[in-house]
Amino acid sequence: MSVEQTFAIIKANAVQDGNVGNILAAIEAAGFTLRGMRMARLTPAICKGFYAEHVHKGFYPELEDFMTEGPVVLLCLEGENAILRWRELMGATNPEKAAEGTLRKKYGESLSRNATHGSDSPESAAREVSYFFSAFDLV
């Protein structure tokens, strides 16, 4: 096992529905250390940069509309095998297929409005953390 960082987003629907505290409590209960946290309202330009690999895909306009509809919470999490463990805590991308007790099962509404985001690899974690946080932002 190795200590690593991962990037997470509590998406607009979970913020709007008042689930930030519940999700943060689950993160802490799972043993993650919060190294960075900020609430932000994403713009279309920020989304295009963050989701650059998806901009030309058919689902991108809906994704951008959703991610810019309200505030989100941006997180840098740290812990043993943080990337895999965060993905397990989130659950399957589609809340209907997510395991009971996972965040997406509890707080997700649909495949596109699934309450949380998490990095899928060490490379994406490094890119995503640095996209939203500078070294001075992380504790």
pLDDT in tens, 48-92: 999 999 999 999 999 999 999 999 999 999 999 999 999 999 999
For each of the domains in the chain, give its residue range(s) and CATH number, in order of start: 3-132 (3.30.70.141)
What's the farthest any 2 CA atoms get from each other in the chain? Answer: 39
Q: How far apart are CA 79 and CA 85, in angstroms?
A: 9
Q: Which two tokens stand for residue 61?
A: 């306009």
Mark whether 117 is an active-site residue.
yes
| Phi, psi (rounded to 5 degrees) for 108 | -80, 150
Q: How far apart are CA 137 and CA 18, in angstroms?
A: 25
The CA-based angle 51-67-111, given to 5 degrees, is 85
Catalytic residue among 27, 35, 117, 132: 117
Q: Which two tokens stand for residue 101?
A: 């007790």
- The pLDDT, as a whole number, for residue 135 is 85
Residue 125 banded pLDDT, cuts 50, 70, 90: very high
SS3 90: helix
The CA-based angle 67-70-71, given to 5 degrees, is 95
Q: How far apart are CA 103 and CA 79, in angstroms?
A: 18
The pTM assigned to this predicted structure is 0.95
- The pLDDT, as a whole number, for residue 1 is 66
